[in-house]
Homo-oligomer: A and B are copies of this chain.
Amino acid sequence: MVNGLSMVLPPEDLLVAVNIGDDFTHLGLRICPDLDTVMYTLAGLANPDTGWGIRNETWNAITTLETLGGPSWFRLGDQDLATHLERTRRLSAGESLSEVTESICRKLDVSYRIVPVSDKPVSTIVATKDGELSFQDYFVKRKCQPVVTGFRFDRASEATLSEPLHKAINHDEIDCVIICPSNPYVSIDPILAIPEMRKFLSTNVPVLAVSPIINGEAIKGPAAKMMLELGLSPSVLNIANHYHGISDGIVIDIADKSEADVLRARGLKVLVTKTIMKNETASRSLAEETLSFARRLRD
């Protein structure tokens, strides 16, 4: 979705506030998977096959690490490793995560503003029937198999918004907020868990959510599985419920058009359109329609 938005907005009009709940320290390196995916995508370096990492990647370090008996469950590509080494080095030297991200973006010729939602760490903890798991343990090591019972966001209550996000809010630069069709529990909620963010979203800035659920399923990732495990049917209604009190509008797929009236009856503005981003044209088109919808919401 961010890729689509970048195709229709000039750099100064797009600020991507990125989830940091997946971030963790592994092999002494600070790894921020969501920031990296957004950076690599906007730099044109993303691996389209995996949805993470860098295309034309090599795997010599991690393969050797495996030989040496080291942990290899988190697949770090050789080029990708450089990002983590440089980030870790700069953080150790006292830079904030926003500053490090800005610096790496500049080197990658990314002119869009990509900002971590906070410069303080917020860690997603997944409560499962096997006990609490750190996000990467749940997501990568255990391949989302444990049955989830809930989520918490460690240190979210004391986290503040990152400096560039603060500045954008204080300078009244944000005309609307688009909640991308990411996983509501582990990609969006860690952002919403930060008190200042929740407070900002309760002001009169228009907020709209693009549903990650289409016809009862998630295009990718464990969103639908999680909803079922939490006792919720994976539906646009339940997505709307999830963002109740936060979003003013919702974008749903034409496959779910029969739900539009119920959503409208709940006071939501609704855009029904094609939301499956199967290629760049589809991403661009969804971005354009979502932005027009946002403009209508604002007026």
Query: In the complex, are the beta carbons of B81 and A81 less than 8 A apart?
Result: yes
For window 49-80 of chain A, which residues contact chain B by CB distance below 8 Å? Answer: 57-58, 60-65, 67-71, 78-79
The answer to whether the Cβ of A133 comes within 8 Å of any Cβ in the partner chain is no
Chain B's nearest CB lies how many Å from the CB of A80? 8
Asked whether A79 lies within 8 Å of B92 as measured between CB atoms, the reply is: no
The verdict on A88 contacting chain B, using a C-beta distance below 8 Å, is yes
Checking B28, B67, B69, B86 against A68 with a beta-carbon cut-off of 8 angstroms, the contacting residue is B86
Contact A78 B61 (CB under 8 A): yes
The residue in chain B whose Cβ has the minimal distance to the Cβ of A78 is: B60
A65 with B82, Cβ < 8 A, contacts A28-B28, A28-B29, A58-B58 known: yes
Known A-B contacts A60-B78, A60-B79, A61-B85; A68 and B104 likewise in contact (beta carbons under 8 Å)? yes
Chain B residues with CB under 8 A of A141: none
Task: Tell me which of B68, B85, B86, B88 contacts A83 (CB under 8 A).
Answer: B68
Return the contact of A69 from the options B29, B64, B78, B107 (Cβ within 8 A). B107
**Interface check A89, CB cutoff 8 A:** yes
A157 CB within 8 Å of chain B: no
Tell me which residues across on chain B come within 8 A of A65, comparing CB atoms.
82, 85-86
A residues with CB within 8 A of B: 27-29, 57-58, 60-65, 67-71, 78-79, 81-83, 85-86, 88-89, 92, 103-104, 107-108
| Shortest Cβ-Cβ A-B pairs, 9 listed | A64-B82, A60-B78, A65-B82, A70-B86, A64-B79, A78-B78, A61-B81, A68-B86, A61-B78
